[in-house]
Amino acid sequence: MNQFSVPLSRRGFLGAAGAVGGAMALAACGGQSKPPTAAGPTGSAAGSAYNGPKVTLAFWNGFTGADGDYAKKMVNQFNSETPNIHVNMNVFQWADLFQKMPAAVTSGNGPDIGAMHIDDIPTQAAQRVIVPIDSVANNLKLKESDFAPAVWQGGMYKNARYGIPLDVHCLGLFYNKDLFDKAGLDAEKPPTTKDEYMAALDKLKSKNIQGSWVSPFQFTGGLMFQSLLWQFGGDLYSSDVTKATWDSDAGVSALTWMVDLVKQGYSPKNVGQDADYIALKNAKNAMNWQGIWQVNEVTKLTTTHIGIAALPKIGTKGGVWGNSHQFVLPRSQGNDNSKVEAAAYFVSWFIKHGADWAKSGKVPADNNLAKSQAFTSITGLKPFADEVPDVHFPPSVAGINDATAKMYDAVNAAVLGKADPASALHTAAKQASQVLSDNSKKYG
């Protein structure tokens, strides 16, 4: 499963952002020294085939729930089809993964293959925990035109490719069709604009239904804020990523809109972690900005009818929070080229089976797979695929999660009424800008 599928895993991810900085220090082994630079796989066979001797590979990831089951099935299938490569999969909570991997790699006990998120790649690359894999991308004939620009660029760090895109997971609009019917709304036509959204909320409110619960937590309030920020024309950081810019007019407008949903009674105050989603399933909340990781659950509900749609455009532009799992190759202390080439081949096999992986609740990163009948036939995922051109990812800068965490603090304070949106965002942006400056010196 990805890090968002159940409350425990979400909170595990919350710890991951803070854990990354500490884990990287383990890799550096004290002070400013960095591990030696390691080259990635080379040669014409890297990724496209494997004809070497029998090898056993360790594959580390954070797929701790439902998508872990899919990953296990796919690994078993690979092992049965490729007798000279055996993959052992080790699954950790994401926060634990980023604590363990740097030290394991440095000691020579790291995995041969890893999976991580776009916003984790730069920090891991900066500390040489993972190696460039441009040759794999080249031999697989991967092209930028085959992917959404943000997905393709997300695997890059300092003009080198460290991640092979596997999937995209983003926010969508989940809505309770039963509550729509109760309020006299068309359950087959969810709102797509600000005016339609507010009109729907007013109808729901007339039936004593608080129709759009606002979470003060990263999941999902912080992700909702980012989507709105981009829709209002803003961005998280300056173009050179030296300054946090979420306290712009666009950011204030975005967070004010969220806070007003609470002030005007469309959302309760003090919504607990995951309470927005639980209330949706329990017919208390009508509309929830929620992640693709809940699709498999809601499509199996029998007594509650949940619709799924693309996010409404509250601002003037398309904007959707998203992330991507990407394959990486950790640095190896040895010179076993067979293992390196076998790992590259496993990666190529897995991404070619991206439509099977999509069944775990993902959009294939490859545009062609996302258009295939094998993917489009999966219930509930099309709205997310339609959103991919509007998906934004964090910039490829080492330690970026340390800075972004300040923004989540601002959203929490404003939604809970502890600070006005402008003040909360300004304070957080100032703190984050200092983090960016510190990280620039730390990582170089």
Number of H helices, E strands in the chain: 19, 14
**Structural domain that includes position 429:** 171-321+399-443
Question: Both 312 and 258 in a single domain?
Answer: yes
What integer pLDDT is reported at residue 135 of this predicted model? 86
Average pLDDT of the chain to the nearest whole number: 89
Q: Inter-axis angle of helices 400-415 and 7-28, to 10 degrees?
A: 140
- Domain presence at residue 380: no
- Domain presence at residue 132: yes
Question: Both 19 and 143 in a single domain?
Answer: yes
What integer pLDDT is reported at residue 335 of this predicted model? 66
Q: Looking at residues 407-415, what average pLDDT do you find?
A: 98
In sign, the C-alpha dihedral spanning 329, 335, 338, 341 is positive
Question: Both 91 and 151 in a single domain?
Answer: yes
Residue 24 confidence (pLDDT) above 80: no
Structure tokens at 162: 């460290």
Q: Taking a C-beta distance cutoff of 8 angstroms, is the pair 412, 216 a contact?
A: yes
Q: Looking at residues 153-171, what average pLDDT do you find?
A: 95
Q: Which of 413, 425, 405, 117 is nearest to 252 (CA)?
A: 425
- Domain presence at residue 271: yes
The number of folded domains in the chain is 2
What does 267-315 look like in DSSP terms, one character per residue? Answer: S-SSPPTTHHHHHHHTTS-SEEEEEGGGHHHHTT-SSS-EEEEPPPB-S
Q: At a CB cut-off of 8 Å and minimum separation 6, what does 353 contact? A: 74, 77
Question: Both 191 and 284 in a single domain?
Answer: yes
- Domain presence at residue 342: yes
Question: Both 206 and 92 in a single domain?
Answer: no
Instruction: State the pLDDT confidence band at 20, using cuts at 50, 70 and 90.
Output: very low
What integer pLDDT is reported at residue 39 of this predicted model? 57
What integer pLDDT is reported at residue 5 of this predicted model? 36
Pairing of strands 130-131, 167-176: unpaired
What integer pLDDT is reported at residue 68 of this predicted model? 92
Within 10 A of 284 (CB to CB), how many other CB atoms are there? 17
- Domain presence at residue 393: no
pLDDT tens digits, 326-384: 999 999 867 688 998 899 899 989 988 999 999 999 999 999 999 999 999 999 999 99
| Polymer length of the chain | 444
Residue 69 confidence (pLDDT) above 90: yes
Question: Both 137 and 51 in a single domain?
Answer: yes
Question: Both 157 and 231 in a single domain?
Answer: no
Question: Both 306 and 178 in a single domain?
Answer: yes
Structure tokens at 149: 């620009």
pLDDT tens digits, 247-273: 999 999 999 999 999 999 999 999 999
What integer pLDDT is reported at residue 41 of this predicted model? 59
Question: Both 59 and 124 in a single domain?
Answer: yes
- Domain presence at residue 361: no
pLDDT tens digits, 90-143: 999 998 998 899 999 999 999 999 999 999 999 999 999 999 999 888 888 889
Indicate whether this model's pTM tops 0.75: yes
What does 200-267 look like in DSSP terms, one character per residue? Answer: HHHHHHHTT---B---SSIIIIIHHHHHHHHHTT--SB-TTSSSB-TTSHHHHHHHHHHHHHHHTTSS
Question: Both 201 and 131 in a single domain?
Answer: no
C-alpha to C-alpha distance for 290 and 307, rounded to whole angstroms:
12
C-alpha to C-alpha distance for 364 and 353, rounded to whole angstroms:
9
Higher pLDDT: 30 or 164? It is: 164
Q: Rg (Cα) of the chain, in Å, rounded? A: 22
Instruction: State the pLDDT confidence band at 148, using cuts at 50, 70 and 90.
Output: confident
In sign, the C-alpha dihedral spanning 349, 388, 188, 288 is positive
Instruction: State the pLDDT confidence band at 46, using cuts at 50, 70 and 90.
Output: low
Question: Both 148 and 49 in a single domain?
Answer: yes
- Domain presence at residue 386: no
The CATH number for 262's domain is: 3.40.190.10
Residue 274 confidence (pLDDT) above 60: yes
What integer pLDDT is reported at residue 42 of this predicted model? 54
pLDDT tens digits, 77-87: 999 999 999 99
Structure tokens at 234: 């803003």
Instruction: State the pLDDT confidence band at 66, using cuts at 50, 70 and 90.
Output: confident
Question: Both 162 and 15 in a single domain?
Answer: yes
- Domain presence at residue 365: no
Residue 60 confidence (pLDDT) above 90: yes
